[in-house]
């Protein structure tokens, strides 16, 4: 499934590390930066999460809520949040259902092995619930700055 800018973003309802549920319908009226990442505590994912952490005040200044999503469980998310002092929620998508709706969950290959997983991707969802921007090829080190700069153009 390919998502198109301007179309409604797929709805979701997922728990965070504490069990609080976040749903897109409840976030209407706010700009949402929804970033999908493969795994907690891996080098690229840590760089990306810390990038969002380091610029979090700037995101808040632009009235944007940041939500990370992976297939890791709540305990893994809690450890990741605590280890790196992440100020934003990480949502649990254990079966990859929401990632699938966004077209970023599927067969991956790494070191000769095939497995199902999330492809690092980010979506900016406007206050109206429509998709404003999609990043399907993400460089973890510079991504948070790139998204922040693009918020000024939306």
Residues in the chain, total: 154
Active-site residue 45, yes or no?
yes
Distance in angstroms (rounded) separating the CA atoms of residues 46 and 141: 9
Q: Is 103 exposed, middle or buried (0-12, 13-18, 19+ CB in 10 A)?
A: middle
Specify whether the CB–CB gap between 118 and 96 falls below 8 A: yes
Q: Which of 33, 45, 66, 148 is catalytic?
A: 45
**Nearest-CA neighbor of 125 among 102, 108, 146, 142?**
102
Read off φ and ψ for residue 148, nearest 5 degrees.
-60, -45
DSSP-derived pairing of the beta strands 113-118 and 21-23: unpaired
Catalytic residue annotation? 45
């Amino acid at each position: 499934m390919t998502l198109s800018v301007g179309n409604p973003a797929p709805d979701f309802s997922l728990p965070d590390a504490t069990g609080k549920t976040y749903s897109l319908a409840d976030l209407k009226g706010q700009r949402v930066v929804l970033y999908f990442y493969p795994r907690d505590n891996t080098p690229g994912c840590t760089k990306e999460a810390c990038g969002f952490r380091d610029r979090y005040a700037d995101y808040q200044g632009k009235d944007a809520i940041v939500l990370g999503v992976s297939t890791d469980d709540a305990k893994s998310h809690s450890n990741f949040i605590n280890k790196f002092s992440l100020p934003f929620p990480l949502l649990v998508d254990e079966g990859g259902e929401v990632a699938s709706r966004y077209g970023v969950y599927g067969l991956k290959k790494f070191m000769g092995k095939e497995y199902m997983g999330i492809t690092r991707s980010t979506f900016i969802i406007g206050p109206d619930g429509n998709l404003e921007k999609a990043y399907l090829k993400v460089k973890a080190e510079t991504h948070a700055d790139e998204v922040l700069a693009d918020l000024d153009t939306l």
